[in-house]
Amino acid sequence: MSGEKNGQVLIVGAGASGMMAAVWAARSGARPLLLEHMDRPGKKILSTGNGRCNFTNRVQTPDCYRCGQPDFPAAALQAFSAEETLAFFEELGIWPKERNGYYYPNSDQAASVREALLLELNRLQVRMETGCQIRRLAGREGGFLAETDRGTLEAGALILAAGSCAAPATGSDGSGYQLASSLGHRIETPLPALVQLRCREKDFRQMAGVRAEGRIQLYSGDGRGNWTWEAQDQGELQLTEYGLSGIPVFQVSRYASAALHKGRQVKASVSFLPGFEEWEAAKFLNRRRKQLADRGAGGFLNGLLNQKLGLALLYRAGIRPEEPVSRIPKEAWEALVRQITSFEAHVTGTNSFDQAQVCCGGVDVRQVCPETMESRLVPGLFFAGEILDVDGICGGYNLQWAWSSGRLAGICATKAALERKTGKEQKR
């Protein structure tokens, strides 16, 4: 593996962004070498979309992507849009299936997307080394040196596409951050995102296993009673013995991670009647109370809320299930309405990186050129995918970021490597 020529583009990480970078580097005239420390490439792709691979989304708006510099993702995403992504994968044999704007391979198998990329890499004769550990990276005149457990490599350009800390079993173990840091880049603290929230309240054990439509709003506080709204989302929530899960929870979780990291308090407020504004929900419940006045409180909630959830909310409000709904005292009734429309849970943490789908944080994008993905500090060094401080919401956005940033890095790194090679030959 030693003695490679300087026209080479070296890509560290054979996940979604790394394989995409290799494809486009090869199509642009480079001879890329793809290094992967796991025993096989693209392992994380296999778990996306619950094994079906939601590989992009029709809706592409700036608020679908979160970043330390909000405008940073736009250049790569505009250079390779969702429509172009669909065309690219159709070219590779992936026929897309749309579900409400979410795109999956028609096979409903994530393995299809991984296999399509591997077949294209094979067609382009891209070299790949799996199970390869990088010990050190260093810049040198005209390129880079990479010391691995199999020898020393030279390259004219280097792409770091080594992922984040999320889902380390798939290979995203944070090692890419160390490599970026060794080359002088600042790392924004990686934190779990698209992850479950752990809550202080013990009554979650009574509600464990319940799925319910809800609207979650997240707040952070300074410990002196001052609360700041952070984010909200709506959809099917999952109640667990430790707290809150489900896609709406995942969508707001990065804000909980960031606030907790800063030492702030975090609370969630959930409405189990998300189709109503709070005042409308109170009016609806009062009408329902009159309609079902002869029932006990437990029967009043029958058909409205899951039984386990309804009983837990009654206990929170201090109401016995058998108590006639018409005789519930005013204070207790108002407490029940609050529990249904603004159920509060104090968030103590998130689940670990093992359960997180992505991270917030990563390589500081202020040190990266958004039009090329090239380092502003080290010429010839490029980045792609989750290693950067960019995270998308659920729905195919993190894979779209991988495709867009990987393609851009592959093309621009090739240009840099070939220019360096030409310059070196001219000096001779």
pLDDT, tens digit (0-9, with 9 covering 90-100), for 279-303: 999 999 999 999 999 999 999 999 9
165 and 181 co-located in one domain:
yes
pTM (two decimals): 0.94
Q: How far apart are CA 338 and CA 332, in angstroms?
A: 10
**What residues make up the domain containing 282?**
197-350
Query: pLDDT for 379-418, tens place per residue?
Result: 999 999 999 999 999 999 999 999 999 999 999 999 999 9
SS3 state of residue 420? helix
Task: Report the pLDDT value the prediction gives residue 5, as an integer from 0 to 100.
Answer: 41
CATH number for the domain including 420?
3.50.50.60
DSSP state of 75: H
| Rounded-to-integer distance, Cα 414 and Cα 394, Å | 31
Instruction: Return d(Cα 395, Cα 297) in angstroms, integer.
Output: 39
Alpha helices in 33-141 (DSSP H): 74-79, 82-91, 110-123
Element at 100 (helix H, strand E): none
Question: Would you put residue 413 in left (φ > 0), alpha (ψ -120 to 50) or beta?
Answer: alpha
Pairing of strands 9-12, 33-36: parallel
Count up the domains in the chain and report the number.
2
Measured in whole angstroms, the distance separating CA 298 from the mean position of its chain's CA atoms is 40
Q: Within a domain: residue 356?
A: no
Residues 178 and 213 in one domain: no
Q: From start to end of 181-283, where are the E strands?
A: 187-193, 197-199, 211-221, 227-239, 243-245, 265-271
Across the strands, what pairs with 229?
Answer: 219
Going by their DSSP bridges, the two strands 381-383 and 56-57 should be labelled as unpaired
Separation CA 167–CA 189 (nearest Å): 16
Tell me if 201 is assigned to some domain: yes
Same domain, 408 and 346: no
Q: What token pair was written down for 330?
A: 């005013």
User: CA gyration radius for the chain?
Assistant: 25
Give the C-alpha separation, 87 to 242, whole Å. 43
Q: What is the C-alpha end-to-end distance of the chain, expressed in Å?
A: 25
The answer to whether 390 and 408 have CB atoms below 8 angstroms apart is: no
Single out the residue in 284, 315, 350 at which a domain terminates.
350
Q: Specify whether 210 is located in the same domain as 151.
A: no
Q: Would you say residue 171 lies in a domain?
A: yes
Q: In 3D, which of 78, 134, 181, 147 has the Cα closest to residue 387?
A: 181
Do 333 and 206 share a structural domain? yes
Same-domain status, 146 and 101 = yes
In a domain, 355, yes or no: no
Shared domain check, 404 and 370: yes
* Residue 389 is assigned to a structural domain of this protein: yes
On whether residue 357 sits in a domain, the answer given is no
User: According to the model, what pLDDT value does residue 140 have?
Assistant: 85
Which residues of the chain fall below pLDDT 70?
A: 1-7, 422-428
- Same structural domain, 230 and 103: no
Strands of 143-148's sheet, edge to edge?
A: 134-140, 143-148, 151-155
The confidence score (pLDDT) of residue 219 equals 98
pLDDT at position 278? 87
Q: Are residues 156 and 22 in the same domain?
A: yes
Whether 300 and 387 map to the same domain: the answer is no
What is the amino acid identity at position 56?
Answer: T
Q: Which of 301, 322, 350 is the last residue of a domain?
A: 350
Residue matched to tokens 């929900």:
281
In a domain, 394, yes or no: yes
> H helices within 292-396, ranges in order?
297-300, 307-317, 330-341
Residue type, 39: D
Buried b (16+ CB within 10 A) or exposed e, 104-123: bbeeebbebbbbbbbebbee
User: Considering 350, 373, 388, which residue would you say is the last residue of a domain?
Assistant: 350
Cα–Cα distances in Å, from 151 out to 13, 133, 158? 17, 10, 17
Residues 207 and 185 in one domain: no
- Assess whether 119 and 259 both reside in one domain: no
Euclidean distance between CA atoms 374 and 380, whole angstroms:
7
Q: Rounded to an integer, what distance in angstroms lies between the CA atom of residue 195 and that of residue 390? A: 16
**Domain presence at residue 268:** yes
CB 86 within 8 A of CB 400: no
